[in-house]
Amino acid sequence: MINRLLNDKKICIIACIRKGNDEELISEISKLCIPEGFTVEYLGVTESVSMCAGYNEALEISDAKYKIYIRENTKFQRTDILYSMTEQFRISPEIGMIGAFGTDRLSTDMVTEHSILYGPAGKRSIPVDENYKEVVAITGDFMATQYDIKWDESNITDWYMYALSQCLSFRHSGYKIVVPGQMDGAWIEEQLEHNYDYSDETTEKCRRYALVNFSEEMDIKPYAIRCGIMSFEEISAEDFILPLIFAGIDFSVIELGISINSAKTEDYDLLNSYLLEHHLNAVISYNFSPLLSKVCNSLGVRYVSWVFDCPQQALFDEQVKNPVNYIFSFDKKQVETTKKCGGINVFHQPLAFTVATITEYDITADDTDRFSCQVSFIGSLYEDDIYEHVKEKLSDVALKDYEEAFRNAYGMWDGLDRITGSLAGSTIAEMQAMDSPDTVNNLKMNASDYYIGRILARDLANKERIELVSRLNKYGLRLFSGSSGAQLEGITVGPRLNSKTELPKAYYLSKINIGTTLHSITSGIPLRTFEVMGVGGFLLTNFQPEIPELFEIGKEIEVYKDFDEMEDKVKFYLENEEARKQIAINGCKAVRENYNIYKQLGKILEQAGLIF
């Protein structure tokens, strides 16, 4: 710490200007209101060899007690921040440094912007709803001090790690570092893109210095994992955020607008750059992405995928053989199929309850009016008509083969796989001949499994669901679906429901929730089972071989093996309310205790070697 007489009525704003042009920054500073009795000076340092060296140069020149170190692109959002800053320093001599954004748990790669940040309400940070929040580090876009401590220009010679280094220096001197409560508005404009350059050798050298010298003080273990949570265009991975926080794993949410089916070179490059810049040791996603696996394999990054589709064609891609993969599927048969395709680390893992719990206090009068019903079916009717167009073009022999396979599986859920290999090779060949050359040439999975899943399974689902809702309409059925319902006479089709805000309430307010599974899912339990039971809904669903492995039928869940049994059980449980309610209570307890996202994801992380 530098001991010298400082002017406590003076504020100095300091910036290292690499461009040598600070007109815009001076204009920004001129907008600020100056507290009565204070003077403000600006020092723009040019031609400095590093940020620390430049700041030390300015620190030696200015005798201002209060100094604000900013980046050349910092933009002020409020004009009164000098009042707030000086007053906070005046009443709190234990505070050495104030930042607009900061973290109380530093990212394991030592990059503050990769951490969970506190600050104003916005995309970048969690709002501070008190006078201030004490943090371990602040970002370098705004760093205000009331004491002079030299910057470590000997070891931190880059243009980035200076902020973290100075935070450590203030903490070593016994001062607090805080982020103010910016309830009236952000002090500075959010810089969603920071200037950390992973490819710069000097920056990486300084980051490695920080890892060696600061890790213990920042409570970062040498074996700490930094995980990427991959959200694709089609599938969000936000369910993983809270469990990773709960498990104490550092993470970064990857939202790059990439499709899970992408094979584009530009998307490969985008992912590759992101993983390098964010120093990720592992990435996790719902379903398997060959492109992401390829990137991870090239960088030696573990890739964990939790698959909830069956069949997922991507599991037949060559990238499934990559040794960095840890693939978890909800369907046992799919596990074996993936292993046969060359998957090394492939495991069975049931899905989990992921939504918030629902109680009667969460239900409004509008919810009751919209969702309360005797019986509900929520889901697609698979009205894409592709199967009808295919059937129209099949030869008489192939159509007869198809109709026989259809009859053998229709409305039958007895635990047998009734569709795999059910169509003759000649029938499959006719279907292939109708398809586009691109689809046929790029087909990775067995043609029989692909066309049976794409055509026969969806045709079955359409006809079965139409019969299901038609049979149950007389019991007060409510249907919510993205389908038009044009084939359903006398049945009103409600809209598709929001999975986070509406679906849980619909499950909770339905006396009986009806579930049904695509025949292509031969053994696994779909996600909806856990979601219905987890919010306390009573579930009557088709039998799946894995259900009795997880739940006690008749005590925690109810099943049917054909339409007649489904209808009989609907009548019985509408007439026996206590029995129905007790099963719902038991099922809810079983799911919340054993199949919640925290416990299930924890098993995955442990199996993949991400927690110890």
Give the pLDDT confidence of 287-301 residue by residue, as tens digits: 999 999 999 999 999
Q: CB under 8 Å to 175, separation ≥6 — which residues?
A: 94, 95, 96, 97, 147
Average pLDDT, rounded, for the chain? 93
Query: Average pLDDT for residues 180-187, to the nearest whole number?
Result: 92
Q: Are 35 and 82 in contact (CB under 8 A)?
A: yes
Q: What is the mean pLDDT of residues 226-249?
A: 92
What would the pLDDT profile of 123-135 be if each residue is shown by its tens digit?
Answer: 778 999 899 999 9
Residues with Cβ within 8 Å of residue 564, at least 6 apart in sequence: none
Helix (H) or strand (E) holding 533: helix 527-534
Q: Is the peptide bond before 127 cis (omega within 30 degrees of 0)?
A: no
**Average pLDDT estimate for 570-577:** 98
Task: Please state, in angstroms and rounded to a whole number, the distance separating the CA atoms of residues 240 and 242.
Answer: 6
Closest among 318, 327, 325 to 300, alpha carbons compared: 325
Q: 219: phi > 0 → left, psi -120 to 50 → alpha, else beta; which?
A: left
10 Å Cβ neighbour count for 445? 17
Contact 99, 118 (CB under 8 A): no
Mapping DSSP to helix (H, G, I), strand (E, B) and coil, where does residue 299 land? Answer: helix
Q: What is the average pLDDT across 491-498?
A: 83
Reported pTM: 0.87
pLDDT band with cut points at 50, 70 and 90 for residue 464: very high
Scan for tokens 């389908």, then name that residue. Answer: 483
Structure tokens at 512: 């009986």
Which of 408, 524, 566, 386 is closest to 458 using CA atoms? Answer: 386
Return d(Cα 283, Cα 300) in angstroms, integer: 11
Nearest-angstrom CA–CA distance, 6 and 89: 14
pLDDT at 191 over 80: no
The sheet carrying 102-103 orders its strands as 126-127, 118-119, 102-103, 137-138
DSSP lists the bridge partners of residue 10 as 39
151-160, 389-398, 439-448, 514-523: range with lowest mean pLDDT: 439-448
How many whole angstroms separate alpha carbon 493 and alpha carbon 232? Answer: 29
> In 3-state terms, what secondary structure has residue 611?
coil
Q: Over 106-169, what HEC string results?
A: CCCCCCHHHCCCEECCCCCCEECCCCEEEECEECCCEEEECCCCCCCCCCCCCCCCHHHHHHHH
Average pLDDT for residues 265-279, to the nearest whole number? 96
| Helix 265-277 and helix 290-299, axial crossing angle in degrees, nearest 10 | 50
Q: Are 351 and 594 in contact (CB under 8 A)?
A: no
CA-CA-CA-CA dihedral for 484, 486, 488, 492, to nearest 10: 50
Report the range of poorest mean pLDDT among 188-202, 452-466, 593-607. 188-202
Interval 46-86: pLDDT, tens: 989 999 999 999 999 999 999 999 998 899 999 999 999 99
**Gyration radius from the chain CA atoms:** 30
Q: Which of 605, 601, 609, 497 is nearest to 239 (CA)?
A: 601
Residue 224, judged by CB atoms within 10 A of its CB (0-12, 13-18, 19+), counts as middle
Nearest to 381 by CA among 272, 493, 471, 261: 493
- C-alpha distance from residue 502 to each of 250, 476, 477, 516, 525 (Å): 31, 20, 18, 20, 22
Range of weakest confidence among 382-391, 554-563, 567-576: 382-391
* Buried residues in 115-137 as b, exposed as e (16+ CB within 10 A): bbbbbbeeebbeebeeebbebbb
At residue 3, does pLDDT exceed 70?
A: no
The per-residue pLDDT for 122 is 82
Instruction: Name the pLDDT band for 495 (thresholds 50, 70, 90).
Output: confident
What pLDDT digit, counting tens, does each position of 307-364 carry?
Answer: 999 999 999 999 999 999 999 999 999 999 999 999 999 999 999 998 777 777 688 9
% of the chain exceeding 90 in pLDDT? 80
Task: Report the half-sphere exposure of 381 (CA within 13 A, side-chain side).
Answer: 25
Burial class (CB in 10 A: 0-12, 13-18, 19+), 344: middle
Determine how many CB atoms are found less than 10 A away from the CB of residue 188.
23
